Amino acid sequence: MSEKEARLGGASSGKVYNYIINEINRRGSLYFILIDPDKPNSNLQKFIRIATDCGVDGFFIGSSLLLSENFEKCVKTVKKNTDKPVIIFPGSIYQISKHADAILFLSVLTSTNTEYIIGQQTLASPIIFKYGIEPISTAYILIESGKMTSATFISQSKPIPRDKPDIAIAYSLTAQYLGMKLIYLEAGSGADNSVPVELIQGIKNFVKIPLIVGGGIKNPETAFEKSKAGADIIVTGNILEDTPEKKIKGLISEFVNAIHQNKR
């Protein structure tokens, strides 16, 4: 980062955000894998290399809760084994690392507690400034998905009903009008039901900023449907953690092909 950028706390650089925008323009939709720092993976290096070779577009690292002390080590390992952006998707202020390329500067718009809308962010800002990592202002919007998820519980959210796209549209427009750069529609990790396509389509008709969609996406066909509906970035986490090692490469390639197949 240049001296001027450092003075601006990274706010002007936007290297990772530019990459996201350029790649969306080039490919249509992107595939990001979520790495949970709490899930012990003795083969993390190998996993990241395979995913990178298969054409994944980037990695998110984070978790609603952090039970282990692995966070920093996990970020370093991912960073060392890929040339794709490594972006923190933080569950709290304890998930910030100078080794990442960027951090989703999340505000949980569906939270009922200001701590998750502006409180943790205020504590995090000076650390992000000091580390010089790129903050990407992101609206985190939780969608009801069948059962209480960790994201809903921890963030004290009132998730948006699945059959109320109008509410989701209003939240998304709010995010755009507030100047946020990304919208993350979250069904929750391991959700029974992923974010409905009708809801994605509805939002896409109203907002211009990119939409990330994650939670409960378990196969490439579903990923394709979401990208076709308007999701600019599809995120999966659990499904790869639950896949036997010898099938990982095949499955990641299928996700990459399904998502990149969508040229809107």
Regarding 217 and contact with ligand 1GP (CB under 6 A), the answer is: yes
Q: Print the SS3 string covering the chain.
A: CCHHHHHCCCCCCCHHHHHHHHHHHHHCCEEEEEECCCCCCCCHHHHHHHHHHHCCCEEEECCCCCCCCCHHHHHHHHHHCCCCCEEECCCCCCCCCCCCCEEEEEEECCECCHHHHHHHHHHHHHHHHHHCCEEEEEEEEEECCCCCCHHHHHHCECCECCCCHHHHHHHHHHHHHCCCCEEEEECCCCCCCCCCHHHHHHHHCCCCCCEEEECCCCCHHHHHHHHHHCCCEEEECHHHHCCCHHHHHHHHHHHHHHHHCCCC
* Number of residues this chain uses to bind ligand 1GP (CB under 6 A): 14
Stretch that binds ligand 1GP, among 129-137, 159-167, 196-204, 230-238 (CB under 6 A): 230-238
Among 10, 135, 216, 230, binds ligand 1GP (CB under 6 A): 216
Shortest Å, Cβ 7 to ligand 1GP: 33
Stretch that binds ligand 1GP, among 45-53, 78-86, 113-121, 215-223 (CB under 6 A): 215-223
Residues 20-59 that bind ligand 1GP (CB under 6 A): 34
Nearer to ligand 1GP by Cβ, of 61 and 133: the residue is: 61
Stretch that binds ligand 1GP, among 19-27, 131-139, 159-167, 236-244 (CB under 6 A): 236-244
Site track 172-191 with ligand 1GP (rule: CB under 6 A), x = hit = --------------x--xxx
Regarding 232 and contact with ligand 1GP (CB under 6 A), the answer is: no
Regarding 215 and contact with ligand 1GP (CB under 6 A), the answer is: yes
> Among positive and negative, which fits the CA dihedral 229, 232, 238, 243?
positive
Backbone angles phi, psi at 263, to 5 degrees: -105, 100
Shortest Å, Cβ 215 to ligand 1GP: 4
Regarding 235 and contact with ligand 1GP (CB under 6 A), the answer is: yes
Regarding 243 and contact with ligand 1GP (CB under 6 A), the answer is: no
Torsion of Cα atoms, 260 then 244 then 84 then 68, to 10°: 140
Stretch that binds ligand 1GP, among 1-9, 19-27, 47-55, 214-222 (CB under 6 A): 214-222
Among 52, 137, 237, 260, binds ligand 1GP (CB under 6 A): 237
Residues that bind ligand 1GP (CB under 6 A): 34, 186, 189-191, 214-217, 235-239
